[in-house]
Structure 1
Amino acid sequence: SWSKHLSALASMVQELVKEKAVEALKKCFASRMEFGTAGLRAAMGPGISCMNDLTIIQTTQGFCCYLEQSFGNLKERGVVIGYDARAHPPSGGSSKRFASLAAAVFISRGVPVHLFSDITPTPFVPFTVSHLGLCAGIMVTASHNPKQDNGYKVYWENGAQIVSPHDKGISKAIEENLEPWPESWNTEEALKSPLLKDPYQDVHTQYFKAIQKHCHHREINKSSQVKIVHTSVHGVGHTFVQSAFKAFDLHPPYAVEEQKDPDPEFPTVKYPNPEEGEGVLTLSFALADKEGASVVLANDPDADRLAIAEKQESGQWRVFSGNELGALLGWWIFHCWRQQNPDTAAVKNLYMLSSTVSSKILRAIALKEGFHFEETLTGFKWMGNRARDLLDQGKTVVFAFEEAIGYMCCSAVLDKDGVSAAAIAGEMVSYLATKNISLSQQLTTIYEEYGYHISKNSYFICHDQDVIRSLFDRLRNYGGQKDSYPTECGRFSISAVRDLTTGYDSNQTDKKAVLPTSRSSQMITFTFSNGGVATMRTSGTEPKIKYYTELCAAPGNSDVTHLKKELDDLVDAIVENFFEPVKNKLQPKPE
């Protein structure tokens, strides 16, 4: 299989040489993929900037050496490796192949490897790290990226994704171990090694046992007449969501036939990303209409994220935003927790988390109900690590979410998990149906009780780092004044500024930000006097300047039309005042 892969890569290169495709060749061979806190993500193909056998071996050799330095007992504890269903026929690369090469590298150093014998959702890897007390975990997946991409995602012994400085340490170790070790290629020997174990059955049983603890209304679930459609968008989710519904005694969801089996070509969708909303859900809506189902659940291809849509009385489908689902799931999880913990003092130990660019609805619920809310930097790696710290201090962490449809509804997995979230959402839908309440109605009830939180997020595309730098530098030296931020934006007055690139926070007495800062990425948050919050940031994985805005109204202010107009005006003012000087060098988000 190695020679087949090599000849596929060689013929790709020969083709590019024949076509004199200098730029494409440069792209493949000019610079090595950056290993960051999100691990690797790149196209499968030839060269050091792509995912292929060689770069997987080099990465794993570096990671293995870093783990040897970090843990004296790596050979006793071992690692877990999982993979999704991605494959790339032109280059011969696939997630399964990359996972077995990674296993061969560790086994060549005498490290026990728990390699799943079949595809699994991403959350199974962090679950296994915690469940078996391993040193680390690797998941080979590119999640919802286009079909030619793949990725290498790394978890630490605490069951959360790695954060700094591990990325730098691993990166350095990769550079020091570029020469493949003789045994690294030998997947056939590795797959016969007594050091190789298959955790599939055990983890399957234990994972569903762990999430079952979050099932609170078994009787309602059994008798519920609610019909739900589920799509796994050609990814790994189908069998696992079916099992999760079974664990909760829910009727199995109707599966979208054309999308239920893994298919690395993703034939029915332009992008396999349920965040894109309607286009990805067309087949789900058709099946729901046919079966008389009122709710659609959708996972991304590695099943760590969850989208939900509901049929409205008008007959239209409403696709909930990640923030709206955060409000619904946060409310539901607190509602269930409260029923099981009537002792009012226990709430002082309870925590919910969300990232700084996500809705502040959990903060509003926490203020009223008496539990703790914390925000972290963007990315589940931060929420997972913070949740671990809190759990180690004896606190209870029941929920964490990110606006990019990521939900951690169960602390057995310290990462986003679309499988447990699907079952918990299924139970919420069933419970509300017994009271004749739709998800949309419940969301309105939440907003009326805790204050409307209306958000509007978008982005501009920009490939030029100098343009991005000049845009953010202008905000830091506004009106030509050095180290001075804007105090207004059009008719809106700015009451606070937090800059997590430089570490400035006007709300703190010493003006120093509490959250970790990073010089390598741009991120500024403005708070407005009218209850608006806007964050502008660069993306770590895409050529985008993203902006996130939210208007947080006080409970009792339910003039939604006025609030929406106010937020639209605020977004227009931000685009006009903060983006305008470089607007001609930016591409708007494609419709």
Structure 2
Amino acid sequence: MGDCGAPGDVNSNVLVSRSTGDAQLDKAVWQWLSWDKNQKTKEQIESLLQAGKHRELRERLCCRLSFGTAGLRSAMGAGFCYINDLTVIQSTQGIYKYLERNFSDFKQRGFVVGYDTRGQVTSNCSSKKLAKLTAAVLLAKDVLVYFFSTYVPTPFVPYAVQQLGAVAGVMITASHNRKEDNGYKVYWENGAQITSPHDKEIIKCIEECVEPWSGSWNENLVDTSPLRQDPLQKICDSYMEDLTKICYHRELNVQSSLKFVHTSFHGVGHDYVQLAFRAFGFQPPIPVPEQKDPDPDFSTVKCPNPEEGESVLELSLRLAEKEGARVVVATDPDADRLAVAEQQENGCWKVFTGNELAALFGWWMFSCWKENCSQDADVGNVYMLATTVSSKILRAIALKEGFHFEETLPGFKWIGSRVKNLLDKGKEVLFAFEESIGFMCGTSVLDKDGVSAAVVIAEMATYLQGQGLTLAQKLVDIYEIYGYHISKTSYFLCHEPATIKRIFERLRNFEGPESYPRCCGAFSILHVRDVTTGYDSSQLNHKAGRAAAAVLQVLPVSKSSQMITFTFQNGCVATLRTSGTEPKIKYYAEMCALPGHSDRSVLEEELQKLIEALIGDFLEPAKNGLTWRSA
């Protein structure tokens, strides 16, 4: 946990009389009580100590946060593995140390800090306060800090890093997680989330800087330091101007009679989505009044994740029916994801999956490119990307249309870094996505962006209305042309890491030591790819590693999470993986049919049978105590 500070703190006397009997834990408790200046979280540790709750103290104090698919993310509260004032200070000190080593002009180029609207009264913890402490650490070290004066969408931070030429940036957010959580998302100078080796090296630097420095607790520096600048107006204006680069039918938008409803899920999205619609020539969407303003309790939804579908979109859908709006767009609390629902002719609502929206976005972005590109434009220079657990529909479009498609590991940090690499090589990237409703339209922001996606889908719906089509009808057209891609994604909750490990180790030793399954129920398995261990049965040497290919890339090893993909004889691809941000085991399964094989009901029936076998044979929910998402 790092070296103890100097003895003599008043709490050290309390600790001596209440030793836990564990030297490592005693040291960690002493450090916390010595360093934490937040009275609420300090009292939480003192209470646990006085109550003799040593196991909980050990869980809170004897491990540290690590970078997952979306930075540091955990519950708010006391402890070195929670998000709180002290761990944010420690993380920022580590980042300062790492950036100082890597950039000689770090202090002059500066650092961007943004935040959402989360908060927890019991820990006196809020995103804005954590952002102020992040800024304080850097301002105390004479670093120029671009600190937003109010809450912003997550995409504004990576956008600002690039626009302002900063060396890095942090967004304080837990995105769509439950209200108890918060997070610390780090962006590199290229505008993409950090990946290895930066994440591992930053963790090392954090461990070298665990004791707060003089000035690190001075959150008032944000209001008094001449080194603090507010980038809000400049970045907002520039972002909205850049947004018009992917507006292709402004004249239709201005004249459109189509109405839209928008919900921001009690988060940051309302003001920015309104501005984005205006930038495209639309009348602003109708907001859901109960969900328009920030509310850290997310009081009108059981969970602030629009990916959960119709159950959490209830207020939006009822308002849309009342207002005669056919399309609902929903941004998650930090406005980097987008859900879309459309009312069908029978009055029912279709909530599109992330994969279905990607089919629409992919078709749209390529069609607009083709319509507007110069005569000498080379389609072979055009790229689209997706994470490996997402639909292969972009691959099918790419094969027919002649552009390139690539896959990355799960998480937009991998997409952002790869897109920047392609741009640096002179390539043109039109679109990228992950199935969990994360979309990147254009390359102004190298991360998923719900604000831009919302207005692009509005323009698409407006254009299609002029063609006498709905979004749902166009989706069927796309599948008829490029082949049906029927996918299902869900998850089980599992709060026991040992259980998760046991499930995946069983799959790796299914028919004996180091022997993966050859079938799942009645379905024969053609290939197995285990990204965690580096095994890939489709490769000659059975090893995974990045290989150049026009359409698909072999993925690198990623030991930080569990992920196994099965390719079946019938054309289905199914993946089991752990979430990088929540206690979930996710499954993804997709049937990919060739163009002309359009009996959707047969494909759906086959997929459902395979998923039932996958869950029953491989996950064994009853035996392993797993809770299904709807329970």
Q: Post-superposition shift, 1:51? A: 2.0
Q: Does 1:533 align with 2:533?
A: no
Q: Which residue of 2 aligns with 1:229?
A: 261
SS of equivalent to 2:596: coil
Q: Does 1:448 align with 2:480?
A: yes
Q: Post-superposition shift, 1:148? A: 2.1
Q: Which residue of 2 aligns with 1:317?
A: 349
SS of equivalent to 1:458: strand
Question: Structure 2: how far apart are the matches of 1:20 and 1:347?
Answer: 67
Q: Which residue of 2 aligns with 1:333?
A: 365
Change (3 A) 1:357 1:82: same
1:317-341 deviation digits (Å, cap 9, x = unpaired): 1111111111111111111111102
Question: 491-500 or 554-563: which moved more?
Answer: 491-500
1:212-250 deviation digits (Å, cap 9, x = unpaired): 110000111011110110000110000000000000001
Residues 33 and 50 in structure 1, CA contact (< 8 A), matched pair in contact too = yes
Q: Post-superposition shift, 1:11? A: 4.4
SS of equivalent to 2:511: helix
Question: Structure 1: how far apart are the matches of 2:326 and 2:51?
Answer: 52
Q: Does 1:504 align with 2:544?
A: no
Change (3 A) 1:581 1:424: closer
1:190-211 deviation digits (Å, cap 9, x = unpaired): 4322211111110011001111
Residues 69 and 580 in structure 2, CA contact (< 8 A), matched pair in contact too = no
Gaps of 5+ in 1: none
**Match of 1:106, as an amino acid?**
L
Q: Which residue of 1 aligns with 2:596?
A: 556
**Paired residues for 1:364-375 under 5 Å:** 364-375=396-407
Question: Structure 2: how far apart are the matches of 1:44 and 1:585?
Answer: 26
Question: Structure 1: how far apart are the matches of 2:426 and 2:263?
Answer: 37
- 1:92 is aligned, of 124, 144, 151, to 124
Q: Post-superposition shift, 1:12? A: 4.1
Q: Which residue of 1 aligns with 2:390?
A: 358
Question: Structure 1: how far apart are the matches of 2:36 and 2:502?
Answer: 48
Q: Post-superposition shift, 1:472? A: 2.3
Question: Structure 2: how far apart are the matches of 1:280 and 1:471?
Answer: 31
Q: Does 1:120 align with 2:160?
A: no
**Paired residues for 1:243-254 under 5 Å:** 243-254=275-286
Change (3 A) 1:414 1:91: same
Q: Post-superposition shift, 1:31? A: 2.7
SS of equivalent to 1:183: coil
1:438-484 deviation digits (Å, cap 9, x = unpaired): 1110110000000000011122333333333333233223322x333
Question: Structure 1: how far apart are the matches of 2:510 and 2:43?
Answer: 53
TM-score (norm 1): 0.96
SS of equivalent to 1:537: strand
Q: Which residue of 2 aligns with 1:478?
A: 510
Change (3 A) 1:4 1:238: farther
Q: Which residue of 1 aligns with 2:525?
A: 494
Question: Structure 2: how far apart are the matches of 1:506 and 1:47?
Answer: 42
Question: Structure 2: how far apart are the matches of 1:475 and 1:31?
Answer: 28
- 1:567 is aligned, of 593, 598, 607, to 607
Question: Structure 1: how far apart are the matches of 2:480 and 2:528?
Answer: 28
Q: Which residue of 2 aligns with 1:347?
A: 379
Q: Post-superposition shift, 1:81? A: 0.4
Residues 117 and 127 in structure 2, CA contact (< 8 A), matched pair in contact too = yes
- 1:153 is aligned, of 160, 177, 185, to 185
Question: Structure 2: how far apart are the matches of 1:535 and 1:464?
Answer: 20
Residues 43 and 149 in structure 1, CA contact (< 8 A), matched pair in contact too = yes
Residues 69 and 411 in structure 2, CA contact (< 8 A), matched pair in contact too = no
Q: Post-superposition shift, 1:525? A: 1.0
1:82-117 deviation digits (Å, cap 9, x = unpaired): 011112122111111111111111111111100011
Q: Post-superposition shift, 1:506? A: 2.4
Question: Structure 1: how far apart are the matches of 2:534 and 2:82?
Answer: 34
SS of equivalent to 1:545: strand
Q: Does 1:405 align with 2:437?
A: yes
Identity of aligned residues (%): 58
Q: Post-superposition shift, 1:578? A: 2.2
SS of equivalent to 2:246: coil
Count how many residue pairs are aligned between Structure 1 and Structure 2: 588
Question: Structure 1: how far apart are the matches of 2:458 and 2:170?
Answer: 29
**Paired residues for 1:12-31 under 5 Å:** 12-13=44-45, 24-31=56-63
Question: Structure 1: how far apart are the matches of 2:100 and 2:380?
Answer: 40
Q: Post-superposition shift, 1:267? A: 1.2
- 1:271 is aligned, of 281, 288, 303, to 303
**Paired residues for 1:194-273 under 5 Å:** 194-273=226-305
Q: Does 1:104 align with 2:136?
A: yes
Residues 410 and 420 in structure 1, CA contact (< 8 A), matched pair in contact too = no
Question: 508-517 or 141-150: which moved more?
Answer: 508-517
Q: Post-superposition shift, 1:558? A: 1.2
Question: Structure 2: how far apart are the matches of 1:381 and 1:35?
Answer: 11
1:499-541 deviation digits (Å, cap 9, x = unpaired): 1112122223333223111223221111112211011112222
Residues 69 and 410 in structure 2, CA contact (< 8 A), matched pair in contact too = no
SS of equivalent to 1:431: helix
Change (3 A) 1:64 1:343: same
Question: 408-417 or 89-98: which moved more?
Answer: 89-98
**Match of 1:176, as an amino acid?**
E
TM-score (norm 2): 0.90
Change (3 A) 1:99 1:466: closer
Q: Which residue of 2 aligns with 1:516?
A: 556
Q: Which residue of 2 aligns with 1:433?
A: 465
Residues 228 and 293 in structure 1, CA contact (< 8 A), matched pair in contact too = yes
SS of equivalent to 1:551: strand
Change (3 A) 1:323 1:36: closer
Question: Structure 2: how far apart are the matches of 1:204 and 1:198?
Answer: 11
Residues 387 and 415 in structure 2, CA contact (< 8 A), matched pair in contact too = yes
Residues 368 and 450 in structure 1, CA contact (< 8 A), matched pair in contact too = yes
Residues 534 and 547 in structure 1, CA contact (< 8 A), matched pair in contact too = yes
Question: 11-20 or 468-477: which moved more?
Answer: 11-20
Residues 500 and 517 in structure 1, CA contact (< 8 A), matched pair in contact too = yes
1:240-281 deviation digits (Å, cap 9, x = unpaired): 000000000012110001111111121111111101112221
SS of equivalent to 1:182: coil
Residues 167 and 188 in structure 2, CA contact (< 8 A), matched pair in contact too = yes
1:349-390 deviation digits (Å, cap 9, x = unpaired): 000000000000000000000000000000000000000000
**Match of 2:143, as an amino acid?**
V
Q: Which residue of 1 aligns with 2:93?
A: 61
Q: Does 1:462 align with 2:494?
A: yes
Residues 499 and 624 in structure 2, CA contact (< 8 A), matched pair in contact too = no
Change (3 A) 1:501 1:8: closer
Question: 24-33 or 207-216: which moved more?
Answer: 24-33
Residues 37 and 162 in structure 1, CA contact (< 8 A), matched pair in contact too = no
Question: 571-580 or 65-74: which moved more?
Answer: 571-580
Residues 461 and 586 in structure 1, CA contact (< 8 A), matched pair in contact too = yes
Gaps of 5+ in 2: 1-34, 547-554
Question: Structure 1: how far apart are the matches of 2:564 and 2:398?
Answer: 25
Question: Structure 2: how far apart are the matches of 1:512 and 1:157?
Answer: 32
Question: Structure 1: how far apart are the matches of 2:393 and 2:461?
Answer: 20
Question: Structure 1: how far apart are the matches of 2:316 and 2:620?
Answer: 40
Residues 144 and 302 in structure 1, CA contact (< 8 A), matched pair in contact too = yes
